[in-house]
Amino acid sequence: MSTISTPAHGHDHAHDHAHDHPDGWRRWLFATNHKDIGTLYLLFSFVMLLTGGLLAMLIRLELFEPGLQFFKPEIFNEFTTMHGIIMVFGAIMPAFVGFANWMIPLQVGASDMAFARMNNFSFWLLPVAALLLVSSFLVPGGAPSGGWTIYAPLSIQMGPGMDLGIFALHLMGASSIMGSINIIVTILNMRAPGMTLMKMPMFCWTWLITAYLLITVMPVLAGAITMVLTDRHFGTTFFSAAGGGDPVMFQHIFWFFGHPEVYIMILPAFGIVSHVVPTFARKRLFGYSSMVYATSSIAILSFIVWAHHMFTTGMPVTGQLFFMYATMLIAVPTGVKIFNWVATMWKGSMTFETPMLFAVGFIFVFTMGGFTGLILAMTPIDIQLQDTYYVVAHFHYVLVAGSLFALFSGFYYWSPKWTGFMYNEIRGKIHFWASMIFFNVTFFPMHFLGLAGMPRRYADYATQFTDFNMVASIGAFGFGLTQVYFLFCVVLPAYRGGQKAADKPWEGAEGLEWTTPSPAPFHTFETPPQVH
């Protein structure tokens, strides 16, 4: 088209071009470009991270010493519940979707995501949902306060804040489903010529599998919360024993969603780490195909372990045994992945720039979270530790040191490609070491609190738990301030400008980025011609 000098069909091409590429606020509101939408997801998730983090700070403020200092137990329970929901559905998941939007088209050689308008819609559902969620603090009866799992029958007896929460979760679920359809169709239909599935970058693989998980389990959550809604307002008794329902059924339905959900929050992290480690070890990823099979195995097994969250609900011993062994089985493919990352680093020419620090930190601390998970998988131990701080320590080791550290690693790794500017390496290292130290100061003592019997979601506690709680609270404030430092000293300066990034900011051993299993690095694939 660019060779035609006269406007075809009496059109003004400049006008068309301006119409296709709006600027100012229109560029973001009507965004259909995968990079713009990826940026929107990342900004949204960071705002939610700070919101959820503020709630965590308030929780740790109250728990700094025994007795009720600042908040009534009701408000404290609202904080714990909203912290969980915001972090899971508002911070971690949208951040990974942001990475998917940015990187998947670039990695498979597609011009954009498959459904650009739907991509825009699936993003803009999220700020609406977030506003609904946060506004629940302002209605009579306050925000939902039964934990992020919103167990019936408690969730049926709450005020209108619960309805806002249910509506917000529906919107976020719809957003996830649309985003997943987009990712699957982009990966399966829009790969560059010659890129077979087994030549795809690992990040694309982990997201392909994650997207299938999301499409499978999000409707299950929708069903559970819709039944809660009808129990609340329309006289049904799905979860009310008085009307022939069963409150334990809610837990089965919720955890059939909830357990695959935790893998949805870690598989893309595995993908990111599988890119960062080979680059900075200057070696190919060890055992690419075994990584793909391990990821698929984790996804399949995630569907048959849900009731390990329910060992204390009175299930028969046969059921307990099945869920115990099935859960321990997931340690095998997970162990394969850890082994492959370590084998990739083995005898590599490693350098420790910030992305690599976060990736190695991820492997170390995520492995600890995995081991505590293995301990909790054992029924007799879990019955003792159910709903104690040991469980809180376990899943924060997986979700903070797991998902969040991988997100940081991915940001430092790909942001030069996104912005054209290098972040400040010294500040990046400060961010890593402060995060790593404060994270462990916060959550490691919680293992001891849990083993000593301190229950979770309590605003007050017995005096013998004081010291570890004080340590944990100090660590939490340090960790929170570190993320504010990350915003003001790393992210904003990188977006404002600074040192220009090289074409290949992470030069490999022979001038090659070892990020794909195929000999050609992903950025050499030409974009397939567009059919009009």
Active-site residue list: 83, 112, 148, 175-176, 259, 261, 263, 274, 308-309, 334, 337, 456
Q: Name the DSSP class of 527.
A: P
Give the H or E element holding residue 213. helix 202-233
The whole-angstrom separation of Cα 364 and Cα 357 is 11
Give the H or E element holding residue 506. none
| Other Cβ atoms closer than 10 A to 386 | 18
The whole-angstrom separation of Cα 141 and Cα 144 is 9
Q: Do 296 and 210 meet the contact criterion of CB atoms below 8 Å apart?
A: no
3-class secondary-structure state, position 500: strand
Give which of 322, 528, 399, 377 is closest to 86, Cα–Cα.
399
- Angle value at C-alpha 341, between 92 and 476, nearest 5 degrees: 40
Structure tokens at 103: 């990187």
Give the H or E element holding residue 10. none
C-alpha pair distances (Å), 309 with each of 238, 253, 417: 20, 12, 41
Q: Do 70 and 62 meet the contact criterion of CB atoms below 8 Å apart?
A: yes
Q: Do 391 and 456 meet the contact criterion of CB atoms below 8 Å apart?
A: yes
Which amino acid is present at 142?
G
Structure tokens at 407: 């997100």
Bond into 505 cis (ω within 30): no
The whole-angstrom separation of Cα 368 and Cα 373 is 9
354-377 and 331-345 helices cross at what angle (nearest 10)? 150
